Amino acid sequence: MAPIKISYMVSFSSQDPRYPAENLLSEDGIQPWLSCPKDHSRQLRVELQLERASPIGCVDVGNYGCAFLQIEVGCSSWSCDQSYLTLVPTVTLMTPADSKLDQNRCGVRMFKEGK
């Protein structure tokens, strides 16, 4: 199936002015989205809207220093009290040793249906 375009960013939790959340929407070149240096929560959250409702069979995620990732999905037609569904449960993108040694910060992980 062809890639689905992300229409826009609904919300995000934090951003470094040099590496804003809008970089996630960039189609020309790879630029990371990093948290604000003053944000010590150590968590980033973004809500993206796809251009149309679509079945999701595969998600490719580029990583730049993220240790853990979780992907949840929902539908804009759901009621406001409907919780998101977990598409990818929390996974480790960097080992604790890699994080401490500042190694293997960049990579791509592919998540496919059934895995």
d(CA 115, CA 110): 10
Under CATH, what is the fold of the domain 55-114? Jelly Rolls (2.60.120)
Q: What is the mean pLDDT of the chain?
A: 87
Q: Which amino acid is at 88?
A: V
Q: What is the pLDDT of residue 61?
A: 87
Burial category of 94 from C-beta neighbours within 10 Å (exposed 0-12, middle 13-18, buried 19 and up): buried
Both tokens of 98, joined, read: 């890699």
Q: Which amino acid is at 91?
A: V
Q: What is the pLDDT of residue 115?
A: 65
Over the stretch 56-109, which tens digit does the pLDDT of each residue have? 889 988 888 888 999 999 998 899 899 999 999 999 988 889 888 888 888 888
Q: Where are the domains of the chain?
A: 1-54, 55-114
Token pair 């604790």 in the structure block, residue: 96
